[in-house]
Structure 1
Amino acid sequence: MAIVLFALPLAVVVQRLYHDETVTGLERDATRIAAVVPDDLIQRPRPLKRPAGLPSRLTVGVYRVDGRRVTGQGPGRSALAVRGRDGRVHDGAEHGRLAVAAPVPSDEGVAAIVRVSAPYDPTGDRIQRALLAMAGLALAAVACASLLARYLARRLARPLERLTAAAQRLGAGNFSVRAPRSGVREADEAGIALEATARRLGTILERERAFSADVSHQLRTPLTGLLLGLESALERPGADLSAAIGTALDRGHRLQVIIDELLDLARDTEPARRHLDVPAELEEITLRWHGPLAAQGRRLVLDIQHPLPAVSTSPAALSQIMDVLLGNALQHGRGEVTVQAADVGGGIAIDVGDQGPGIAEDAPDIFARRSAHPSAPRGTGRDAGQAGTRTAAAAGHGIGLALARSLAEAEGGRLILRSSGPTVFTLFLPDTSMAS
């Protein structure tokens, strides 16, 4: 388009330029000859002497004002010469030649007309050569533009092809895809976004898989308690079936709450965080565990040191973490269970401890994810049902504690084993007011 819009007007200009250049030369020669033509040449016709230096290709003739040739060369009659009687120089194409008519002035007016003509072919040849040269340059420019366009197309297409291949690998399940850098800013930004998406999808998928195992672990005990409570009511003669059904419904509702909380955490939806009333949440959580611990003759003590700094975390995450820790204290600990919350500067520390023998120093990492024991204790009757009011740890550590630590880290906190004998776990939640 650039060549068409530029070359076509230029070709017209060049053609006009060569034409005007030839006409200007003829006008100069005609005026020069008219200046030396004798005034009486019309009354006494005689051969005209050509001035020195006049090109041999020129044809020179002297005409009357009526257009008839008097002497020299040219057509017998010339319409162009007739136009010259107005005293001005005229040009035009006549008999296949480019001609100029210049008047010969005298005291009485225009005495004669000098007609100078030249073959049109040389001018046409010059124009043709110029147009051919311009066409050649245009073709060279198109060729160069084509080569440059192919180079740029390959340079732009290659990173896009690599991005396409990386996207296909990502679709096939390879979340470690990396798009090589190409130097094209937009393509590199798309590659960086694709890598971030791959990492995000890998993290979400890994979290979903982990939660698939964690959900079964977290739901096994309450579901077992619900079923055993119903079985016990059916097997005992004279059992209050209405009360058993009511208890089962309450446990089913609690089980539904647990499922909803775990699904929200598993989806990693990042809900809008709000300041959490930690004392109220801890009182609600410990209230659920008084019954299961009391069934074993054990006390649960809640000690909150006011005031506590503001923390912003998910209530579901805090509930699940505390259930894991209290469940481990219920199943593996001994004696009184204490829950203490205090301001430790920069956040809240929640300690969960018991008076049991603790964890051996040579024991494997209790936060490492391992499979639960294949046969979890079933328990019998109402005691087992009470123990299943909320989630408790399965036989052996590994799944519950691993889940609790991952939830704590997802909330920006930490879960550590502060003491192995007696066992004390510490959950740290950061102070959001300091972070802001």
Structure 2
Amino acid sequence: MRGRSRTRSLRWRVLTAISVVAIVIVTLFAVPLAIAVSDLYRSETVAALSRDATWIAAALPYEDIEAGRSFRLPAQVPAGLTVGIYTPEGRLLHGGGPARSAVAARAADDGHPHEGVEAGFLLVTAPVPAHGVPVAAVRVATPYEQVRERVERAWLLMAALAALTIALGAAVALRQSARLAQPLEHLTQAAQALGQGDFSVRPPRSAVSEADAAGQALAATAQRLGEVLERERSFSADVSHQLRTQLTGLLLGLDSALARSGADLRQAIETALQRGERLHAIIDDLLGLARDTRTGSEPLDVPALLEEVRLDWHGRLAAQGRRLLINVPPDLPEVAASAPAVRQILRVLLDNALVHGRGQVSVDVSEVGDVLAIEVSDEGPGIAEEAEVFARRTAGDGHGIGLALARSLAEAEAGRLILRRRSPPVFSLLLSPPAGS
């Protein structure tokens, strides 16, 4: 029984709770009211009988009663009443009623009115005084069944009103239970849809602020999970392209050396080894980024990172007769970012300048407000106005995939990668300071 009560729905619990409260409240009001109505009707009847008994006692000819002569009751006695005149000993002297009445005897004995129930009648007695001494008692009675029927009719009416009140309470409880349970049912459906991979779930709004807050939180969580999943998918595709591009270059170099007669195989092998080392470094960085769940949590040593860039890219640019210029001013502001992520972003930008750019390649670091800007530029013709720089292209040279990966890595580090100028091209990587600084 206990286990079943725990599995009852919210609708049932709210309906039961409100209905029980309505029944308890109606009972607490109805029972005392029913008792009060019963006492009220009895008191009204006794008051009416007392008035009639007092009036009749005052109108009786006490001289005839005292002398033992015959007499008549007043003609204005209300119909439906049983009126009897009793001796001080409680014996019926004139009129209707039982042969003896103890209540009438008490009235004649102490000279005060009395009430009571005798033989199914509700009665009131009043003394008939003569020279200050009671010589008889008037007994006025009405069937007690009439009083009971009046009380029962009032009780039936009260019971009908109570039942109507409880029914209205149950209707309100049913509506309220549906109003409270429906938002939770919608949240449950949304959570199930989210679990099945639907990240577009948006629970409908309701009039319950707590349920609306939970729905908004669930919708925000679904949106974030969708963005994270999309970013992970894009990251996987972009990483696959980056690795495939490097591996293709390595294989093409070796294949070209083998296909040419008199080729310098030693030089080809050394070039392949250099490319293999770069590929190894890329794999290490990307694996580190894939496993690292932190975002912008560690200070970045910008001068040390750019020194690595100089050592890695100076020779490749020099082989094309091009110059690499890196400008790092002193006293740079502290920024929080992952070194592998920034290294990979700069690798994409420098590779872009190497393949598609011309002339000198510059890497300039500057402070812009409260952020640090690392800009990569060259002296080439730049990018056409209609070109979507960061769009992922699956056809053509595939170069946009690398820029898309770079932007994704920058956003993952709470930074931004923008094309500040199209011709000559200038890419700017904006990095934020550590949280709380």
| TM-score with structure 2 setting the length | 0.73
Rate the CA distance shift 1:57–1:131 in 2: closer, same or farther, 3 A: same
Rate the CA distance shift 1:55–1:412 in 2: closer, same or farther, 3 A: farther
How far apart, in 2, do the equivalents of 1:71 and 1:396 lie?
Answer: 128
- 2:262 aligned with 1:260, yes or no? no
How far apart, in 2, do the equivalents of 1:399 and 1:147 lie?
Answer: 62
Q: Which residue of 2 aligns with 1:100?
A: 124
How far apart, in 2, do the equivalents of 1:288 and 1:9 lie?
Answer: 96
- 2:343 aligned with 1:319, yes or no? yes
- 2:214 aligned with 1:172, yes or no? no
Cα deviation, 1:209-254, whole Å, max 9, x if unaligned, reads 1122233345557889999xxxxxxxxxxxxxxxxxxxx9999798
Q: Which amino acid letter does the alignment assign opposite residue 345 of structure 2? A: I
Rate the CA distance shift 1:130–1:29 in 2: closer, same or farther, 3 A: same
Q: Secondary structure at the match of 2:399?
A: coil
- 2:95 aligned with 1:72, yes or no? yes
Q: Which residue of 1 aligns with 2:388?
A: 365
Q: Which residue of 1 aligns with 2:104?
A: 81
> How do 1:289-328 residues align onto structure 2 when only pairs under 5 Å count?
289=313, 300-328=324-352
Cα distance, 1:362 vs structure 2: 8.1
Q: Percent identity?
A: 52
Cα distance, 1:43 vs structure 2: 4.6
Q: Which residue of 1 aligns with 2:272?
A: none
How far apart, in 1, do the equivalents of 2:306 and 2:146 lie?
Answer: 106
How far apart, in 2, do the equivalents of 1:215 and 1:90 lie?
Answer: 108
Verify the 8 A CA contact 2:317 2:354 in the aligned structure 1: yes
Rate the CA distance shift 1:69–1:427 in 2: closer, same or farther, 3 A: same
Cα distance, 1:95 vs structure 2: 0.3
Cα distance, 1:364 vs structure 2: 4.8
Q: Which residue of 2 aligns with 1:15?
A: 38
Q: Which amino acid letter does the alignment assign opposite residue 173 of structure 1? A: G
Structure having greater relative contact order (Cα 8 Å, sep ≥ 6): 1
| TM-score with structure 1 setting the length | 0.73
Which of 222, 241, 255 does residue 198 from structure 1 map onto? 222
> How do 1:133-144 residues align onto structure 2 when only pairs under 5 Å count?
133-144=157-168
- 2:142 aligned with 1:118, yes or no? yes
Q: Which residue of 2 aligns with 1:415?
A: 418
Rate the CA distance shift 1:27–1:279 in 2: closer, same or farther, 3 A: farther
How far apart, in 1, do the equivalents of 2:141 and 2:183 lie?
Answer: 66
Q: Which runs of 5+ in 2 are unaligned?
A: 1-22, 252-275
Segment drifting more, 125-134 vs 16-25:
125-134
Rate the CA distance shift 1:100–1:369 in 2: closer, same or farther, 3 A: same
- 2:28 aligned with 1:5, yes or no? yes
Rate the CA distance shift 1:370–1:272 in 2: closer, same or farther, 3 A: closer
Rate the CA distance shift 1:364–1:430 in 2: closer, same or farther, 3 A: same
Segment drifting more, 18-27 vs 71-80:
71-80
| Superposed CA RMSD | 4.2
Q: Secondary structure at the match of 1:365?
A: coil
Cα distance, 1:148 vs structure 2: 3.6
Q: Which runs of 5+ in 1 are unaligned?
A: 228-247, 374-394
Aligned residues: 395
Rate the CA distance shift 1:262–1:338 in 2: closer, same or farther, 3 A: farther
Rate the CA distance shift 1:211–1:71 in 2: closer, same or farther, 3 A: same
Rate the CA distance shift 1:65–1:295 in 2: closer, same or farther, 3 A: farther
Segment drifting more, 189-198 vs 68-77:
189-198
Q: Which residue of 1 aligns with 2:82?
A: 59
Q: Secondary structure at the match of 2:221?
A: helix
How far apart, in 2, do the equivalents of 1:256 and 1:301 lie?
Answer: 27
Rate the CA distance shift 1:420–1:221 in 2: closer, same or farther, 3 A: same
Cα distance, 1:20 vs structure 2: 0.9
How far apart, in 2, do the equivalents of 1:250 and 1:70 lie?
Answer: 135
How far apart, in 2, do the equivalents of 1:43 and 1:225 lie?
Answer: 145
Cα deviation, 1:90-127, whole Å, max 9, x if unaligned, reads 21211001011223345564433222111122222221
